[in-house]
Structure 1
Amino acid sequence: MSIALLLGGTSEHGNVQHRYLAGRFLEQFGEKVDCIISARPKSDPISVRLRRMIKRGHYRERLARAIYGAGYGPSDEHLQPLLLPGESSARMPGGDRHFIVDSHNGSDCEVLLDQYKPDVIVVYGTAIIKSNIFSRAQRITLNMHTGLSPYYRGDSTLFWPVYYDDPSKLGVTVHELVESVDGGAIAATAQVVYEPGDSEANLFAKGVMAGTDIYLRAVQQALDGTLICTPQDLSAGREFRWMHRTVAAERQVLSNLQTWART
């Protein structure tokens, strides 16, 4: 029985949440984790980035973001003490089992998966994975989504329940990875419980920890041949993209968190 991890992040060693998940999988499954595959961040020329920016538009929001000054979502600085307190290394665990490819959807990733032939492919925080990759699992490819599917799918999905004043939908989902974004059959879900004083970073860290717990159980069930996945009703929820998370939305979330803390 073997497992391959495909992990995202803004560096080739992932971010805090990706290293946290990798460490937990190595702790539980040991040598069954054959490989941990990260993708090298793209570094497009300025001309390419300018053309992309012009094509995407959203100039007013880009200016508002520059003036606002805050980053996009919880940073490693905020997540480190919550997920990996006392950990000084910013390297992906796994030693020589950690591989860096140009793209998770590229031929170098295909070669690694063909070499190791994993029973289960574990995905978290990557760009959209295409069928040439997720079809290479001998049994199933799973993804962890830090949002409660089918209600909140896509991007920043522990952010949007706060925006919509919907704390009962704070949660995390492990689902089969298919072509539709966060649309695969659900293997497991877990609630994220708001506590007074929680920031977005606190909620996200809780989601990563709770999600990793159910992910470990789901992968063990997949290896044992006992995993049961339930199809989603995609008409029941919303799907979000990065451009939906505006500065105005972030200010509303901060306001709602302050209101929640008082009630």
Structure 2
Amino acid sequence: MKMVVITGDHPRHRYLATKLAECGLLSGWIIEKRKPFMPEAPAGLTPELTRLFNLHFQRREEAEERFFGQPTTPSDVPNLSVTPDTLNDQATLEFIKQADPRLVLSYGCHKLSDALIQASGCTFWNTHGGFSPQYRGVTTHFWPSYMLEPQMTGVTMHETTSHIDGGAIIHQNAALEMHADDGLHDLAARTVRAYADEIPALLAKTLEGDLPLGQPQKTSGKIWIGADWRPEHLHLIYNTYEDRICKAVADGELAGRIPTPFSLLKD
């Protein structure tokens, strides 16, 4: 056991952690309590926007269940429950030191403090649900489809730094093959599941030797912030394309950029 994983508590986060546990890689799991997966529509929306908002997040929840189920915490892996407010507390540091990992991998948690990282004496990598540097920040599995290039939906593992999703890249995957029946959330979940299924074996081999230094990101790309997203964006996804943007790409009606995934992990 050579790793500690720090994740959120949504099914996709738990799925990655359980896959790592199945490979015998985990000496500890820190689980951050996140907001409910199904949010309430903001007050003041028009009836149509309320409908689209509820449809969007209902489909997200359904895709999450379909692709990840409800993974449980393995009984043989020590775990620590935290909140966003306690994530960087002394208890987290003590848990990591007790687990004595070579690598700490985060996914779906809030920002880890520089003080925690430095005091731990470990290597920290982060899993970002977006193809960096083009899609850094938040909601980065929504924006590729909205920008009509769903093939840029991806996952990036990078060195953890103070820059938002800006650390040197260790590994990436991307949605290079379009499934015509996939909606936006199916595409996102399928991409995350592919990453979670492949990464344990790659990390197991990588951890047998020296951990690689990542490849610096060559451009700043685009950092998407929470305020960029508004319910009005859902018109294009559901009214214009009826959540069939993947089909439009598969049928040759849309093109856009082609991602070039990069990896330093041993296969």
With the shorter chain as reference, the TM-score category is: 0.7 to 0.9
Judging by fraction of residues, say which structure has more helix: 1
2:259 maps to what in 1? none
Which amino acid in 1 is paired with 2:67?
L
Given candidates 1, 26, 35, the residue that maps to 1:33 is 26
Does the 8 A contact of 2:151 with 2:178 survive in 1? no
Larger displacement relative to structure 2 (207-216 or 178-187): 207-216
- CA RMSD, aligned part only? 2.8
CA distance in structure 1 between the aligned counterparts of 2:144 and 2:162, rounded to whole angstroms: 25
Q: Deviations over 1:114-156 (max 9, x none)?
A: 2223210010000111112333554421111111101100112
Which amino acid in 1 is paired with 2:179?
E
1:187 maps to what in 2? 170
Does the 8 A contact of 1:73 with 1:156 survive in 2? no
1:209 maps to what in 2? 193
Question: Matched residues, percent identical?
Answer: 23
2:10 maps to what in 1? 15
CA distance in structure 2 between the aligned counterparts of 1:228 and 1:23, rounded to whole angstroms: 26
Which amino acid in 1 is paired with 2:18?
G
Given candidates 231, 245, 253, the residue that maps to 2:216 is 231
1:92 and 2:78 correspond: no
User: How many residues are paired up?
Assistant: 235
| Secondary structure of 1:144 counterpart | strand
| Secondary structure of 1:208 counterpart | helix
Instruction: Give the unaligned 5+ runs of structure 1.
Output: 9-13, 44-60
Which amino acid in 1 is paired with 2:81?
I
CA distance in structure 1 between the aligned counterparts of 2:196 and 2:119, rounded to whole angstroms: 23
Does the 8 A contact of 1:121 with 1:134 survive in 2? no
CA distance in structure 1 between the aligned counterparts of 2:192 and 2:17, rounded to whole angstroms: 12
Q: TM-score scaled to structure 1, two decimals?
A: 0.78
| Secondary structure of 2:44 counterpart | helix
In structure 2, the CA distance between the partners of 1:173 and 1:40, relative to structure 1 (3 Å rule), is closer
CA distance in structure 2 between the aligned counterparts of 1:159 and 1:200, rounded to whole angstroms: 7
Q: TM-score scaled to structure 2, two decimals?
A: 0.77
1:112 maps to what in 2? 95
Which amino acid in 2 is paired with 1:92?
T
1:249 maps to what in 2? 233
After TM superposition, give the deviation of residue 5 of structure 1 in Å: 0.8
